[in-house]
Structure formats: structure tokens, C-alpha cells
Amino acid sequence: MADPPLQELFVEELRDLYNAENQMIKALPRLTKAASSPELKRAFQTHLLDTRRHAHRLEEIARALDVRITGKKCHGMEGLLSEGREMLRHGFDESARDAGLIGAAQKVEHYEIAAYGTVRTHAQTLGHAKVARLLQQTLDEEGATDKKLTAIAERVVNLEALQE
């Protein structure tokens, strides 16, 4: 018996997210290196650990569902990361560059929040309660990262960029 179309979509979304997380695992060390604010550097380093945990959580979900989540390219993440690299090539001063890094990182977070919210809802609809809880955990962590980046921007980076 074939899987329902929503199940097929759900697995495709998991594949997309898995690739997105792996692209971020590769990108976050570059973001950390490019940041000048010690607080922003620490936030990126912490998020790298979180992102690795998110990828492992997706692997756990794949095992539980007995599905393969490799082999798909997340073009949305690829585009967001390309925009971030373009911003870095612009040659902004340190604080303005940090503000741009925060903006680029928050675009990624918002993309992931939307994607995890969607896939969590599909998991709930399909009756995958444990999977939905795991996805909600990641969704909560992505939201916390977004809030942390906003706080760094508002408390430090944007004010410094204004004064440069």
C-alpha cells in the first residue's frame, strides 16, 4: 500500500530540513570567523552545537520512521547563505558587518522556524506524536536563537554600527 500524499510530502520536508541543517553546520564556522563582536561569536558557536543536535534529531526521526533523509538539496537555505556571503563581500566596517551577519542569520532562523512549524504540523496530522514533539523541541530552539540574535543586535551591535 502506498503512503498517503501527506506522508510523502512530510518525508520530503524532512529531507529538505536535513540538508538545510547540514549547510548551516558548514556555514556557521565562517559566520563565527567573520563576526567581530565577542557576544555574536559566542552565539554563533553555541548555535553550531544546536544545529548539530538538530541534524542528529532529524536522523533519529528518520530512524523512527524508517525513511532515508539524505540526497536532497535545500535550495532555500542555499539562497539565504549566498545572500549572506554577498553581504560579507560588500566590505562593511566591523559593527555594520556584525549587524549584517545578524540579519542574515535571522533570515535563516525565520526560514527554519517556518519549515519546522510546517513539518511539525504535518507530523501531528499524520499521527506521529513523538516525532512532532521532537520537531517542536527544535522549533523552540530555533525561536530562542532568533530572540538571542535580536537581543545582541538591540543591546550592542546596532548601536555600535550607528556610531561607526
For position 153, which CATH number holds? 1.20.1260.10
**pLDDT tens track for 124-159:** 999 999 999 999 999 999 999 999 999 999 999 999
82-114, pLDDT tens digit by residue? 999 999 999 899 999 999 999 999 999 999 999
Q: Which domain holds residue 108?
A: 5-163
Cell numbers 535550495: residue: 75
* Total count of domains within the chain: 1
Predicted local distance difference test score (pLDDT) of residue 163: 86
* Residue 135, pLDDT score: 98
- pLDDT score of 68 more than 80: yes
Give the phi and the psi of residue 70 in degrees, each rounded to 5: -95, 170
Rounded to the nearest angstrom, the gap between the alpha carbon of residue 70 and the centroid of all alpha carbons in its chain is 17
pLDDT band at 46 (very low <50, low <70, confident <90, very high): very high
95-133 in b/e burial notation, b at 16+ Cβ within 10 A?
A: bbbbbbbbebbbebbebbbebbebbbebbeebebeebbe
pLDDT of residue 81: 97
pTM given for the model: 0.94
Q: Does the pLDDT of residue 1 top 70, yes or no?
A: no
